Amino acid sequence: MLEELTGLKEHYLRCVRCGQCRSVCPVFEEIRNETATPRAKVFLAHMLSEGGLRADSEAAVQLSKCLLCQACTRECPSAIPVHKIVTAARSLLARKNPSRFRRTIFREIWTRPTLLNLSAGLMRRCQGLGLFEVGLAGGLLPHGFSLPGRLPRRPARAFLPETTPAAGKAITRVGYFLGCSTNFLYPEIARSTVSVLSRLGCEVVLPGTLKCCGLPHLESGEVEAVGPMAFDNLAAFRRLGVDTVVSDCASCSAAIRELQAQKSFGEIKILDLSELLFGLLNSYGPGLRTVPKVVTYHDPCHLARAQGITLSPRELLRRTGAEYREMPGAGNCCGGGGTFALYHYSTSMGILNKKINSIRETGAEIVATFCPACIMQLRHGLSKHQGNIQVVHLVQLLAQSLELV
């Protein structure tokens, strides 16, 4: 059961309004308005919980101005889990002011893989007919709809088998949690993930009935949909006898770990892909081919802050033989934040521009990361700057080093 706002009372009452959170909040840095600060959102959540403020659309707008990047949570001297308070407050607002459109998207479509696949197919068809370009040019669609770019012809699920054997002697058997972004937007990342794991001695199991990790639903306040999906996903892995699950999406692995902490995802061991690959490569005998490129790395918020993983991705990059250059502010948010760019596109782009400047400062030819959503955001930003810097998932560089592509 996910936490209710009333259950977080002891946390939001600890806020002394010191303002330390202001120094790390990317949204406040861009907007420069007190209502955008984390402490303002904590106070707003407090007032909503106590009934001192109406749960109306204005409150929803203010609480939407948060990327859930967890920078404030990590910085808070009172150890207040600000992102959990914001998420719980959004849930309360969604219950008080239900939206038929939002519930259709997050409860009817996004909880059913078949309908989600049909929706992606419809979007692909509309793009092919040029309807998206017309909608964006005419202001009929939010600017944020341009972020995904052209959808590939087939999602990853269309060509990945349920079980991929290890290329040689099997060392371990792992379940692969294929997230929505990787599946629909970047199937080539899924292909690289399965190929690399197989080469390194993993039997890879991908249940055909997997559903979303639930993070988009949490961000949008539709919390009630998350538990049933987690139950179904857990059952799918159990049916196939999997006790270790890995994901190439930092957001997915962070969401599943949070569900597990809330007793909603059983006892299965959850690993981010970087953790598993780091261990497997340490025992891998053959050498790796050098990637002759200058590479930098962007820390996804859901990997660095939510899971505390920063070293293994950098070590993996060094194993590729590429020339690695650390970018200034590598851990700063790129401004993606799930659906944040749909509602606050200009703010998102302002945050993204700072990240793009940091990338360009390194002189890198490639920026690697471990989050498909960050890849989407960074590619969008770099395309606007008309640069030739590639944005890739780190597993794709490892696939090159292992001569799989």
One domain for residues 250 and 174: yes
Q: Are 80 and 42 in contact (CB under 8 A)?
A: yes
- The answer to whether residues 151 and 120 touch, using CB atoms and an 8 Å cutoff, is yes
Q: What is the CATH number of the domain that holds 65?
A: 1.10.1060.10
- Which of 87, 121, 146 is the last residue before a domain boundary? 146
Do 36 and 257 contact (CB within 8 A), yes or no?
A: no
Question: Cβ distance 173 to 205 under 8 Å?
Answer: yes
Residues 110 and 54 in one domain: no
Q: Return the SS3 of 157.
A: helix
Q: In this predicted model, what pLDDT tens digit does every residue of 85-143 receive, in sequence order? A: 999 999 999 999 888 988 999 999 999 999 999 999 999 999 999 998 899 888 888 88
User: How far apart are the two ends of the chain, measured CA to CA in Å?
Assistant: 43
CA angle 202, 179, 191 (to 5 degrees): 45
Calculate the alpha carbon distances from 250 to 38, 136, 149, 382 in Å.
23, 29, 21, 21
pLDDT band per the 50, 70, 90 thresholds, residue 1? very low
Domain boundary among 96, 117, 135: 96
> Please, what is the average pLDDT of the chain?
93
* Tokens read off for 7: 């259950």
Asked whether residue 194 falls in the same domain as residue 132, the answer is no
Q: Kindly report, residue by residue over 214-227, the tens digit of the pLDDT.
A: 999 999 999 999 99
Q: Is residue 203 part of a domain?
A: yes
DSSP state at residue 109: I
Q: What is the DSSP letter of 108?
A: I
Report the CATH number that the domain containing residue 183 is assigned in CATH.
1.20.1050
Domain region containing 308: 286-401
Band of pLDDT at residue 2, cut at 50, 70 and 90: low
**CA 172, 178, 181, 185 torsion-angle sign:** positive
pLDDT per residue as tens digits for the range 146-203: 899 899 999 999 999 999 999 988 899 999 999 999 999 999 999 999 999 999 999 9
What crossing angle do the helices spanning 394-401 and 311-319 adopt, rounded to 10°?
30
- Examine residue 151 and state whether it is found in any structural domain, yes or no: no
The verdict on 237 and 339 lying in the same domain is no
What does the pLDDT average to over 379-399? 92
Domains held by the chain: number: 4
What one-letter code names the amino acid at 372? Answer: P
Q: 261, 281, 301 — which closes off a domain?
A: 281
What pLDDT is recorded for position 132? 87
